[in-house]
Amino acid sequence: MSGPQHIVFALVDDFTHMAFACAVDPLRIANLISGQTLYRWSYASLDGQTASSSDGTRIEVQHRFDALPDCDRLFVLSGIRMQSKDHSVLLNALRRKDRMSTTRIGALCSGSWVLALGGFLNGREAAIHWEYHDSFMEKFPEVSLLRNVFVSDAKHPTASGGTATADLMLHMIAEDHGSDLSFAVADQMVYTAVREATAEQKVSLQSRSGMRNPHLAAAIARMKEQLEDPISPSEIARELGISTRQLERLFGKYLNASPKKYYMEMRLERARHLLVQTEMSIMDVAVACGFESPGHFSRVYRTAFGCTPMMQRGRLG
């Protein structure tokens, strides 16, 4: 790739500072490690002077929303209270840029709400912070919302916020300049548990709005108890005194997944954590996560994460 890529961050007031830092610093480190200016970046806000994060930090910016510069990528970054803001100026500017250039327009944290509001994500998969999942699905049914930490859509990539922003940036660096540089950047960040796009956002049971439903909370608790020796959804439903169909409806409504799919994701995520964070053998990890054979474990893991358990281990070397 010739010449540095210019990335513009459109900062909506009350943007999340953690997501901001996780977006910019991997680019800085990539330049430092490579000894080249692979990336340059600038910021835009409504008034073209400053933007304020939700923790009160003020960032000097170089551009106004209505005068966005030429760039290779543009990310909308917002945080709290973005639903009550007027995004018309930014959306008009994004639509012009989308029509007149090849700029990839993405979103970080709650910025996916802004893109969805402008129709950019219609018919596409997207990620957003878990706190907005239920309201997002209600307001934007035409968007395929995933529980993933990020979605690397070719045209409109999205990250759910926080450290997931770093995961997306590392993925982008690997796409642009190879996995070796991406891994080196992660090492410099002391970030040893880099997640693939398919990794699921994990939050406490109490934090999910759906967990107010006692049957759903109890079902997930049973799954967590039985990761090593999985039980069928029908057996879980029978223990809870409800039908299998009712259990499936609950998972679909609140978690946008079937019980079987959610259970498998839970087991695979635990397997990934064990591979990354422990010295357990791959055989022991497979057994601990309820897989009958290393071969089956390897096939399912590769389908989910794009690499085998052995390859996952090799990335840490």
- Write down the CATH number for the domain with range 205-317: 1.10.10.60
What is the per-residue pLDDT for 315? 58
Residues 220-270 have pLDDT tens digits of 989 989 999 999 999 999 999 999 999 999 998 888 889 999 999 989 988
Q: Is the pLDDT of residue 130 over 90?
A: no
What is the per-residue pLDDT for 200? 54
Q: Is the pLDDT of residue 317 over 60?
A: no
Can you list the alpha helix ranges (DSSP code H) found in 140-205?
A: 164-177, 179-188
Domain boundaries, the chain: 5-188, 205-317
| Options 3.40.50.880, 3.30.540.10, 3.90.180.10, 3.30.360.10; CATH of 5-188 | 3.40.50.880
* Residue 172 φ then ψ, to 5°: -65, -45
pTM of the full predicted structure? 0.67
